[in-house]
Amino acid sequence: MSRLFRHAARLAAAALLVAAPAGAQNALGAMDASQAAPLRGLHTADDLRDWAAVGRLDTGVSFCTATLIAPDRVLTAAHCLFGPDARRLPDESLVFSAGLRHGSAEAIRRVIGSDMPIGYSRPPDTPDMASVGQDVAILRLERPIPETMVRAIGLGTRAADRSPVTLVSYGALRAEYPSIEEDCQVLSSLQAVQVLSCHVVSGSSGAPVLRIGPAGPEIVAVVSGRSETDEGAVTVAVVAEDLVPTLLTRPASAQLATGPVRNSPGGAIVFRRVDQGTALRGGTGARFIRP
């Protein structure tokens, strides 16, 4: 087995993770200044000109990152809709603030409904490949955000391994403004899960992984978590091109036929997960059962 193949296999295995308890930023290891160097804060209207569709999703107990993908639809990670006790949060507790920066937002909307793959549940202890590969959710807003206020970002096809991607996210210690990282790379892929070289912290869950093309940015994946590997910290994301269009087009009462989430037997691998980002005290890592 070649060194390159082994490297990709290890990274792909490390990708299989779900969120740690809310507020586990210290346990996950807050990034120091050198680690955070690739991030550039978006503090002004000019900075946010192309990224106003990215906003903060407040849940009443924490926050995640989310993106406007249609005038009345927002994309985020499914685990953001669950509290620290793994119980489902009511849709009415969710608020999306598009382009939020230092107390000012381009638009603020409450959530009135949500869709996620059937069978998805936030595993409290031993998340597996099936749950990570379904970690996306679509939120329905109380009323549309006009394109004259915020231009939604559309979906794109899967990004190829070794291709460049861009990440825009909120996070712990930068909850009041988004940051952008423009030099990420897709390191490896395993089914619907991809491993990226991007930097994320608590609150970055649900952030859009973007490819910048001639027509502008398009969403190719959604941030699910973070893992520690032999090579260092990596970001884990879910490919958007299959699950998201299905969620967008199915009737609100329909169910996505993906089957139940099941744990897979196998050896354990230590991982850490980017979670919703409010409490900054304590918390523990988790163990993933690798297929």
Give me the phi and psi of 239, to 5 degrees please.
Answer: -60, 135
Supply the pLDDT for residue 128: 64
- The CA dihedral of 160, 161, 163, 167, to the nearest 10 degrees, is 90
Q: Is residue 286 part of a domain?
A: no
Q: Is residue 264 part of a domain?
A: no
CB 258 within 8 A of CB 250: no
* Amino acid occupying residue 35: Q
Give the chain's domain count: 1
Going by C-alpha positions, the residue among 203, 151, 139 that lies closest to residue 177 is 203
Gap between the Cα atoms of 244 and 151, Å rounded: 18
Gap between the Cα atoms of 240 and 165, Å rounded: 14
In three state form, how does the secondary structure of 131-170 look?
HHCCCCEEEEECCCCCCCCCCCCCECCCCCCCCEEEEEEE
What sign has the CA pseudo-torsion 235, 172, 95, 22? positive
pTM score of the predicted model: 0.78
Q: Is residue 199 part of a domain?
A: yes
The CATH number of whichever domain residue 83 belongs to comes to 2.40.10.10
Going through the chain in order, the beta strands assigned E by DSSP cover: 40-41, 54-58, 63-70, 73-76, 95-98, 107-115, 137-141, 164-171, 174-190, 193-196, 208-213, 216-229, 232-239, 268-271, 286-289
Q: Is residue 233 part of a domain?
A: yes
Q: Is residue 45 part of a domain?
A: yes
| pLDDT by position in tens, the chain (length 291) | 333 334 444 444 443 333 332 333 322 223 333 344 478 999 998 898 899 999 999 999 999 999 999 999 999 999 999 988 888 999 999 999 999 999 999 999 999 999 998 878 776 555 566 778 889 999 999 999 999 999 999 999 999 999 999 999 999 989 999 999 998 999 999 889 999 999 998 999 999 999 998 889 999 999 998 887 777 788 999 999 988 888 888 665 444 433 333 333 333 323 444 555 432 222 333 333 222
Q: Is residue 221 part of a domain?
A: yes
Q: Is residue 55 part of a domain?
A: yes
Show the domain range for 153.
Answer: 3-250+271-276
Q: Is residue 281 part of a domain?
A: no
